[in-house]
């Protein structure tokens, strides 16, 4: 069985650590983490990834989010990696983000015990 690899971009240490632990324990996925958008770009270009979970709230504004998503989408190494947004923001317009590689948005606070199932459903992965 192939182990799925996910990059979790989350600026809050506790949420990042708990989410990583839960996804690794519940689903058996390997979860790489970062709090930095710069480090996230480096990891997307150097690591084999199956998906990205991106905390929208970690970005200063929606424009920063768009820049990161455009960079991922325009890079031949990263354009195929699906992105799922994690957000407390009600105004993130998912339909506008789809063309930039976003598959879905999961509202925060999310239930850690069902997050792996939600991610698997969005990506059509067996869970």
Residue-wise pLDDT for 22-43, tens only, equals 999 999 999 999 988 788 889 9
Cα diameter, the chain: 39
The pLDDT value given to residue 20: 97
pTM of the predicted structure, to 2 decimals = 0.89
Tokens of 115: 């997050």
Beta carbons within 8 Å of 87's beta carbon, 6+ residues apart: 55, 56, 57, 105, 106, 107, 108
The pLDDT value given to residue 89: 65
């Amino acid at each position: 069985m192939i182990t799925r690899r996910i990059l979790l971009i989350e600026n809050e240490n506790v949420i990042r650590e708990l989410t990583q632990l839960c996804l690794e324990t519940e689903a058996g996925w390997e979860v790489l983490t970062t709090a930095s958008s710069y480090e996230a770009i480096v990891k997307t270009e150097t690591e084999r990834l199956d998906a990205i979970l991106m905390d929208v709230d970690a970005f200063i504004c929606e424009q920063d989010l768009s820049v990161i998503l455009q960079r991922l989408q325009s890079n031949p190494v990263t354009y195929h990696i699906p992105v799922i947004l994690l957000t407390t923001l009600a105004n993130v317009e998912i339909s506008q983000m789809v063309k930039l590689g976003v598959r879905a948005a999961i509202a925060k606070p999310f239930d850690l015990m069902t997050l792996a199932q939600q991610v698997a459903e969005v990506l059509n992965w067996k869970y």
